């Protein structure tokens, strides 16, 4: 993908109305308080990084850079957990406990407020990202 392939417009009321004239389901916005958390997402034994700081433009915020690596938050050995050949046991509960416990402090693990989006800061970000491998693939 290139920057031209992405719709960078934030989720504003006018953008939503233009694309969903009948409105969007309340399910889409019911957990807005979680949108900006940087806590890892845990499902079964999968631990996934949640990086709202990489898509600040979608929230009408200034995109800062350099963008931290996803592996700064979840180490590869935790991200690549697998049950292949391992039956369920309390070992999984123990191994995942720190990630699950982090959800108790969601409101303290938020992406930094970078201020409102500006076109000059966005252009600077696009220039930077075109010149650097940001580690977005892991």
Question: Which is more confidently placed, 9 or 38?
Answer: 38
Least confident of 9-18, 86-95, 110-119, 129-138: 129-138
pLDDT digits (tens, 9 = 90+) for 66-92: 877 766 677 676 666 666 666 666 777
Provide the residue ranges of all domains of the chain, joining segments of one domain with +.
3-131
Distance CA 126, CA 121 (A): 9
pLDDT at 8 over 60: yes
pLDDT at 138 over 50: no
Give me 80's structure tokens. 């690549």
State the pLDDT at residue 137.
43
Peptide bond into 66 cis (omega under 30): yes
Distance CA 49, CA 52 (A): 10
State the pLDDT at residue 47.
84
């Amino acid at each position: 993908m290139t920057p031209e392939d992405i719709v960078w417009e934030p989720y504003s009321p006018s953008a939503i109305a233009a694309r969903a004239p009948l409105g969007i389901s309340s399910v889409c916005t019911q957990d807005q308080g979680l949108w900006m958390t940087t806590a890892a997402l845990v499902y079964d034994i999968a631990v996934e990084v949640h990086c709202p700081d990489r898509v600040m433009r979608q929230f009408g915020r200034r995109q800062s850079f350099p963008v931290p690596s996803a592996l700064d938050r979840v180490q590869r050995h935790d991200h690549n957990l697998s049950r292949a050949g391992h039956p369920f046991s309390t070992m999984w509960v123990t191994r995942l406990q720190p990630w699950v416990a982090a959800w108790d402090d969601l409101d303290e693990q938020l992406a930094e407020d970078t201020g409102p989006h500006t076109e000059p800061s966005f252009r600077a970000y696009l220039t930077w990202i075109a010149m650097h491998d940001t580690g977005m693939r892991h």
